[in-house]
Amino acid sequence: MATDTLLYLSSDDVLLACEEIDPVAAVRDALVLQADGRVRLPNEALLEWEPDGGGSARSISMPAFLDDDLKVGGTKIINASTQNPARGLPRASGVVVLFDTVTARPLCLMEASHISGLRTASVTILAAQHLLTRDAATAAFIGAGPLTRHHAILAALRLPQITLCRITDLVPERAQALCQALGDLVSPDRMKFEAVGTSREAVSGADLVVPCTTTRQPYIRRDWLTAGCVAVNISLDDLCEDVLLGADRLYIDDWNLVMSDSHRLLGRLARAGRVRQAGADTGPPASHDSASQVATGTIGELILGRCAGRTAEDQLCVVNPFGMAIEDVSLAHRVYQVANMRALGVNLLR
């Protein structure tokens, strides 16, 4: 009789396993399965509260099932508290739980922060690989936290045309420290890192713009962005309405996620009928006196060539992924496979 165990992988175990896998390929596989209708992505469950001591806290539960040859199921639980950095703690933390898809028993519990950051950066890299102009050379990252670190390292590995990364932060010392740390990891012959004072200074002339913040107040305006820019809005609401509605191409990750979100600007625009799904009559009609937008397609459809990509060097391409658990589960399953091969982690008897 098989021993009933639950494998636990710490953050160190996850980091070791990730050295042996291709995160971009894992995320690409998930997006392709989604485009083919071979995933199950239920609505996320959001819990928010106001903790003692101020700030805000939340917990998001994100289940997913990938119907590929192996059939993979799991849930990411990702929590965050805005005051954690002041406490000397990461703002966000969580776990991924993988399931045995035959018995439905939990198979593996692993630390989620590295997986979550890596899959987010992988989505950006995939979009950039398909949308950057031929002469693209400069990336701008707003915020000097772990997400920017993940993006910059992956950009150095996967986007050879990008040779300069500008980084800005509300605390200038954080941007300077991150640039120094990245400069120690990446050869200056490959990529240079420059700390700048303001978001507008970072964005000006940049070919790839990636805000990595927690703001709910849009501030990046259409006239800040250079012709031909790719803006990937992986955080909440950094992009202003005129960017979303004035883009030449607008890509999302999942229309149902967009329509069910009442917090983020893109979700509110979609629910008001001002952003629509390509080829579908979704939501109430927009008023005649307001600008509107039709989403070009999903990132998976872009990868597969099923929706329009860039057709001119001066087109503004906006990618607004909300983040999908299929990406986390796909990446976590590869981590689990490596952990089994390398005997990583601790088996918890039940």
pLDDT for the residue 2: 53
| 126-135, 247-256, 281-290, 296-305: least confidently modelled range | 281-290
272-282 pLDDT, tens digit each: 999 999 876 54
The pLDDT of 20-28, averaged and rounded, is 98
The CATH number linked to 87 is: 3.30.1780.10
Residue 163 lies in a domain: yes
User: Same domain, yes or no, for 296 and 155?
Assistant: yes
* Beta-bridge mates of residue 251: 297, 319
pLDDT of the residue at 350: 60
Kindly tell me if the per-residue pLDDT of 349 is higher than 80: no
Alpha helices in the chain (DSSP H): 11-18, 23-35, 113-131, 146-158, 172-185, 199-203, 241-246, 255-260, 265-271, 299-303, 325-342
Same domain, 52 and 107: yes
Residue 67 lies in a domain: yes
**89 domain residue, yes or no:** yes
Same domain, 281 and 155: yes
Place of tokens 């005997």: 343
Report how many domains make up the chain: 2
Structure confidence at residue 285 (pLDDT)? 46
pLDDT confidence of residue 3: 62
Residue 91, C-beta contacts closer than 8 angstroms, at least 6 positions apart:
80, 81, 82, 84, 85, 145, 214
Whole-structure pTM value: 0.93
What is the mean pLDDT of the segment spanning 35-55? 93
Rounded to an integer, the average pLDDT of 31-55 is 94
**Nearest-CA neighbor of 142 among 89, 189, 201, 71?**
201
Q: Are residues 224 and 145 in the same domain?
A: yes
> Across residues 23-30, what is the average pLDDT?
98
Within-domain flag for 349: no
Does 350 map to a domain? no
Query: Could you tell me if 198 and 259 lie in one domain?
Result: yes
Length of the chain (residues): 350
- Report which of 104, 100, 51 is spatially closest to residue 79, judged by C-alpha positions: 51
In a domain, 38, yes or no: yes
Per DSSP, the residues of 227-282 read TT-EEE--SSS-B-HHHHHH-SEEEES-HHHHHH-SSSHHHHHHHTTSEE-TTS--
pLDDT in tens, 48-79: 999 998 889 999 999 999 998 889 999 999 99
- Please determine, for residue 322, whether its predicted confidence score (pLDDT) is greater than 50: yes
| Residue 199 and residue 299 in one domain | yes
Same structural domain, 131 and 95: no
Residue 68: what pLDDT? 87
DSSP, collapsed to helix, strand or coil, labels residue 65 as strand
Residues 165 and 254 in one domain: yes
Shared domain check, 137 and 110? no
Range of the domain at 138: 124-324
- At residue 117 the predicted structure's pLDDT band, cuts being 50, 70 and 90, is very high
On whether both 313 and 338 belong to a single domain, the answer is: no
Residues 147 and 192 in one domain: yes
Residue 55 and residue 14 share a domain: yes
Q: What is the CATH number of the domain that holds 178?
A: 3.40.50.720
174: tokens are 């954080």
